[in-house]
Structure 1
Amino acid sequence: MAQAAESHPHAAPSLLSKSHFTISTRQSALALAQTTLIATALSSCFPGTTFAPLPMETIADKDQKTALYAFNAKSLWTFELEDQLLSGKSDLIAHSLKDMPTQLPEGCILGAACMRDEKRDAVVMSLASVEKGWKTLRDLPDGSVVGTSSTRRIAQLKRLYPALKIADMRGNINTRLRKLDSDVDEDGTPKFAALILAATGLKRVGLGDRVSACLSWEDGGWLGAVGQGALGVEVREGDIDVERLCQLLMQSTHEGNKVWLEVLTERMLLRTLEGGCSVPIGVESNWVEDQLDVRAVCMSVDGQREVRTHQRKMINGKEEAEAFGLALAQEMVENGAGEILKEITLNRKIIADGGGA
C-alpha cells in the first residue's frame, strides 16, 4: 500500500492563509481510510495545519440494491460532495480516482492524483471456493456465479470467461464479502463462487488476504478502470491555498509526478470517448523507463465486440499527457470504438450535459 511521506523538505505552513482544512469524503471504511492517507500526507507537508474529514453518505451509498449501470445520475459518487465543496463547507474532496468523472462541475478541478501502486482488479473467492482450492477464474467450474456491478468487468467476463455466470453485487467491501460468503440459493448451495473488486481497496482496509488472484493484461488480457488504484483530490478552481496543498502532496508521495501523468492520459482518453462508469472501457498504464506504455479497450456490453489500442510515448507534462490520451482515443474511434459507443445509451445524455471537465 502506498505510504504517506513522513516529512517533506519543502514543508512551508507559512504559505497558507489558514491552519484548518476540511476534506469531503464518502463515509465508507475505504473512503475514510483513503482520506486518512491524504490527510496524513498533507499534515507531513504542513506541520501545525489540521486536515479533518467531513464524511457523508452519497446517493449511491444509500441505494445498495440498484445495479450501478441502472443509475441515471451524473457523477454518481461525487455530486453531493461537490455541492459541499462549491458551497464552501469543505476545502477539498478525497476520491477513489476511478469513481471520479472526467467532466466536473464548473468551478471544480482535479488538483492532485497520487498513491497509486496497485492498478489491478482482484478475484476474491468465497470461503467455500477457497476450501475447494479454487484461486483463479480459470479454476471455477462452468456455471459458477461471479459477483460484480461494473459494466467493464461484466463485458470482460463475458468475453474472456463465457462459461461463467454473472450476478449483480452491490455494497461496501464488507457487505460484498458477507454476501459472497453467506448468500445461498433455495437449495442451500452458495450463491456466489467469487467476486471481483479493486485490489487496492481491499489492501487499504486491511483485507488484502482475501485477494485470491489479480487480473491483468499479462494474465488473460484483462484491463482495469481509468484511474484505478490512485487517489484524487478535487478542489475549487482558483483556491490558491489548496492548489499549494496539492502541489506538495504530489511531490511528497511516491512517484507522484508519474501518477499524475498516467491519470491525465487515461482521463483524457476516457473523456474523449465520452465513457462514464457505465461504459466498458478498460486501461492499463505502466512506465517503461521514461516512456508511458498504455493499453486500452472499448467493449460492447455483451463482450462480443472490442477495439483495443497499445501505444508508448515519452511524456513530460500535462499538455503532452492529455495529447497522448486524445491520440489513443482517436485511434480507437477510427478503429470502431465510436460505433460501439453509439449503441450504448446508458449515461449518453448525462455525459453530453456534463459541462466542463
Structure 2
Amino acid sequence: MQIQDEDIENNNHQQQTQQQQQLSHIQIGGRKSKLAVIQSELVKKAIQENYPQIDCSILALSTLGDKVQTQPLYTFGGKSLWTKELEILLIDSIDEFPKLDLIVHSLKDMPTNLPSEFELGCIFQREDPRDAIVMKKGSPYKKLSDLPNGSIVGTSSIRRSSQLIKNYPNLKFESVRGNIQTRLNKLDNLDNEYCCLILASAGLKRLGLGDRITSCLDDVYYAVGQGALGVEIKKDDFEIKRILKSIEDPVATICCLAERSLMRYLEGGCSVPLGVNATYNQETSILNLKGIIVSPDGLQSVEDEVFKTIDISNDENLKKDCELVGIELGELLKLKGGKDILDKIDMTRNINAKPTEV
C-alpha cells in the first residue's frame, strides 16, 4: 500500500513538473483604460521577474462600464459591469479574442461573490488606499475645511458622498464620472463650477499624477479593496495559482480578505455607503479592521472596529481567519443599526448627487 501511495505521489509530481515545463505563455486580460493597462503591466512585470522563461501578453478590452460614462454605476449594474465581459474569455477563446489565463482588476471593482467558475487568484500590490483631494489648478485651498460654504466638490461614489456630507455639511457634492484625465480636464476648466475632485490616491499615483494630490482624506473611510489589484482566474487552475502565489502582497491579502468579507456579510456593493480602514502589524500579527455605514444624506451613521491576531504564515487557515474578522465587524455594525440604514437605501438613485455628463 505504501509503495502504491509513493507511486501516486511520484506520478502527481511528474505531472506538475510537466505542466510547469509546458507553460511558456500567460495571457493576461484587463480593461482598456490607461489605468487598467498600467495595472496589467504591473502584474506582467512581476510574473516575468519571477518566471523569466514565461512570456506574458496583455489583451485590453472595453467593457460596458467603460462605455457608459453619464450615469452613476449603481443605476445600471454596479461592479459586474467591469468583470463579466472578460470572464467569458477565462472559459474559452471567442472569435479573434484569445482565451485568458487571468484577469487584472482594481480589487474594489470586483464583486465579493464571483461566479462559481472563477476565483480570486491573488491580491497584488496595494498602493495608498486613501481618497485624495485634487483642487482646481491655481486654487489657494488645500483641504475641504478650507473651502467656502457652498463650494461644489466632485465625487463618484455614494460611499464618499455620504461620509463627506456627514463631515462637511457646508459643502455641495455632485456626481462626476469618466476616466481620471477626463475628470481632471473638467475640473480645470475655468467655466466649470467644481472646486475640487475626490479621487482614489492609488489611481493618480499609478498614472504618474501624484503631483495633483493636494491632500488626503484621513477622516473618510475608503472603499473595500481600494488601492489593491485583484487577479481573477478560472477556478482550480492550480498552475496559474502557484505562479500568482509568488507575486501576492501578503499584508494587502490579509486586510482585503477581511474587508471583502465584511462587505459580503453586509450584502454590499459599490453602491452601498460602506467604508473601511484596515491595518496589519507584522510585528504583533494584529489585524485592525474598522468600518462605517452612513446613510446617503449623511444624517445616520454607525462605526466600529475589531482587533484580531492573524498568523501570516498559516496558509491553511489564513483566508478563514480573515473572513471571520469581517463577519465579526459586520455583526457589530448591524447591531448598532447598520442593517436599518442599508435596508432603507434606494439603490436606483442617490438623493445627494445628480448624474453629470462628463
Identify the TM-score tier after normalising by the shorter chain.
Answer: 0.7 to 0.9
Whether the 8 Å CA contact 2:164–2:220 is kept in 1: the answer is: no
Q: Which moved more, 1:72-81 or 1:167-176?
A: 72-81
| C-alpha distance after superposition, 1:319-347 (max 9, x if no partner) | 11011111111111111111111112428
Q: Determine if the alignment matches structure 1 residue 291 to structure 2 residue 286.
A: yes
Give the counterpart of 2:46 among 20, 41, 48: 41
Match of residue 106, structure 1, among 111, 116, 128: 116
1:248 to 246, 249, 254: 246
2:240, 2:42 → 1: CA distance?
17
Give the distance between the partners of 2:105 and 2:186, measured in 1 at CA: 25
Which residue in the other structure is 1:227 paired with? 225
1:312 aligned onto 2:307: yes
- Partner deviation per Cα, 1:240-295 (whole Å, 9 max, x = no partner): 22111211122xxxxx2121111110000000001100010000111233201111
Instruction: Classify the secondary structure of the residue corresponding to 2:259.
Output: helix
Check whether the contact 1:146–1:193 (CA below 8 A) recurs between aligned residues.
yes
**Contact 1:91/1:236 (CA < 8 Å) preserved in 2?**
yes
Q: CA contact under 8 A between 2:254 and 2:280: conserved in structure 1?
A: no
* Worse-matched range after superposition: 67-76 or 289-298: 67-76
Q: Are 1:65 and 2:70 counterparts?
A: yes
In 1, the alpha carbon distance for the partners of 2:103 and 2:133 equals: 29
* TM-score, length-scaled by structure 2: 0.86
CA deviation digits over 1:286-308, x for unaligned, max 9? Answer: 12332011111011111111110
Pairing 1:179–2:196 present:
no
Corresponding position: 1:123 with 2:130: no
1:6 matched residue in structure 2? none
Structure 1 letter corresponding to 2:267: E
2:195 is matched with which residue? 193
Question: Any residues of structure 2 matched to 1:1-357 within 5 Å, and which?
Answer: 15=20, 17-73=22-78, 75-88=80-93, 89-129=99-139, 133-182=140-189, 184=191, 190-216=192-218, 221-250=219-248, 256-288=249-281, 289-316=284-311, 317-346=318-347
CA distance in 2, matches of 1:183, 1:171: 19
Displacement over 3 Å in runs of 4+? none
- Structure 2 letter corresponding to 1:173: I
AA aligned opposite 2:319: K
Q: What CA deviation, in whole Å up to 9, does each residue of 1:125-153 have, x standing for no partner?
A: 01142xxx201111111111111120001
8 Å CA contact retained: 1:264, 1:321: yes
Q: How far apart, CA to CA, are the structure 1 residues paired with 2:104 and 2:77?
A: 23
Q: Do the aligned partners of 2:27 and 2:57 also contact (CA within 8 Å) in 1?
A: yes
Where structure 1 has 5 or more consecutive residues not aligned to the other structure, the ranges are 1-11, 185-189, 251-255, 348-357
2-structure distance, mates of 1:265, 1:280: 17
SS in 2 for 1:194: strand
Normalised by the length of structure 1, the TM-score is 0.86
Partner amino acid, structure 2, of 1:281 = L
Q: Secondary structure at the match of 1:274?
A: coil
Determine the structure 1 residue equivalent to 2:354: none
Distance 1:31 1:13 in 2: 33
Name the amino acid aligned to 1:166: F
Please name the residue that 1:9 is paired with: none
1:210-250 Cα offsets, whole Å, 9 max, x none, are: 0000112xxxx310000111111001001122111211122
Q: Structure 1 stretch 62-71 or stretch 279-288: which is displaced more?
A: 62-71
* CA–CA separation in structure 2 for the residues paired with 1:101 and 1:183: 38
Please give the secondary structure, in 2, of the residue aligned with 1:180: helix
The structural deviation recorded for 1:13 is 10
Aligned residues: 319
Structure 2 unaligned blocks of 5 or more = 1-16, 94-98, 312-317, 349-358
Q: Which has the larger radius of gyration?
A: 2
2:351 maps to none
- What letter matches 1:269 in structure 2? L
| In 1: Cα distance, 2:18 partner to 2:162 partner | 48
Among all aligned residue pairs of Structure 1 and Structure 2, give the percentage whose two residues are the same amino acid: 43
CA contact (8 A) 2:306 2:328 kept: no
Q: Tell me the residue number matched to 2:96.
A: none
- Residue 10 of structure 2 corresponds to none
